[in-house]
Structure 1
Amino acid sequence: MAQSAPPARKAVLVVEDEPIQRMMAVDMVEDAGFEAVEAYSAAEAIQVLETRLDIRVVFTDIDMPHGIDGMRLAATIRDRWPPIEIIITSGKMWGRSLKLPDRAVFFPKPYRRDKVIAEMERMVADVTS
C-alpha cells in the first residue's frame, strides 16, 4: 500500500530585525506546529513573499530599519497578497493612532505567546475553511 505524505505545515513568515526577538518568535511559531520562515527586514520579507506561495500569516514588528517599517510592509501585503493574514507587534505604545490594514491584528510587546498562537490558529483556520 502507498503511504500518503503527512499534511504540510502552514507557513508563517516572521519579520523581525532584532536577532533574539526573531529567534523567540520563530520558536513560538514552530512550537505551535507551524513552519517558520524568517526575514530580518521588510525588504527581505517581500522577496520571500515573491517566491514562497505557501505563506499564510505574516508576523511582523513595526520598528525596522532599512526604509520600510512593519506598517508599510503590512500595507504592501494587503495590496499585493490580499489572502495573507497579518499580525503586527511593537514594544512602543501606539494606542488609537495605529491604523491597521483590514484583517490585521496588533499585539503589544511583550505579547502573550498563547494569545498570538491562538490568533495564528484562527487565521489559518479561516483561510482553509
Structure 2
Amino acid sequence: MSPEYPESLLRVLVVEDESFVRMVAVAMLEEVGLAVAEAPDAEAALTLLQASPDAFGVLFTDIDMPGAMNGLALAEEVHQRWPHIRLVVTSGRVLPRESDIPDAGRFLRKPYHRGALLAALDQAA
C-alpha cells in the first residue's frame, strides 16, 4: 500500500488495446505502489467492473479502441453505473472537449510520462 495515495486510488483499471502501451502504463502505476488490473477493450473492462465494482478507484482508458464502445463511451458508462470511480482518458489522436469527459474526469495526451499520469489521477474527481 502506497503512503502517497488514498485507499480509493490504490486500484486502477487500465484499458488500452495496444499491448505495449498498456504494459508501460501498468508498469508506471505499479512502480509507485498502485495495484493495477488491465483490459484490452471496453467490453473486457466492463466485465471486470461488473464482477468487482467496488474494487476499483480509477479508470484509465484510451479513447480510440476497437469494438462497440470507445473510451469516452466507456467513461460515460462507468460514471453512470459506478460514480465513485475517478476517470482519466488518454489519446494521441483524439482531443476531446472538456465536456466530452464525464464528471470531473481528466484528459491526458499521449505520449505521456509517469509524472503527468500520476498528476491526472490525483486531479480526477
TM-score normalized by the length of structure 2: 0.85
Partner of 2:26: 26
Q: Which runs of 5+ in 1 are unaligned?
A: 1-5
Q: For residues 78 and 96 of structure 2, what CA distance do their matches in structure 1 show? A: 22
TM-score normalized by the length of structure 1: 0.83
Deviation string for 1:58-115 (max 9, x for gaps)? 1000011011100000000010000100100001141548611111100110113102
Q: Which runs of 5+ in 2 are unaligned?
A: none
Partner of 1:3: none
Aligned to 1:89, the other structure's residue is in SS state strand
1:65-76 alignment, distance < 5 Å:
65-76=66-77
Dislocated runs of 4+, deviation >2 Å = 6-9, 95-98, 118-123
Instruction: Flag the 1:95–1:76 CA change in 2: closer, same or farther, 3 A.
Output: closer
Partner of 1:86: 87
1:1-129 alignment, distance < 5 Å:
10-52=10-52, 53-94=54-95, 96=97, 99-121=100-122
Larger Cα Rg: Structure 1 or Structure 2? 1
Q: CA RMSD in A?
A: 2.2
> Percent of aligned pairs with the same residue?
39
How many residues end up aligned between the 2 structures?
Answer: 119
Aligned partner of 1:82: which letter?
Answer: P
Aligned to 2:57, the other structure's residue is in SS state strand
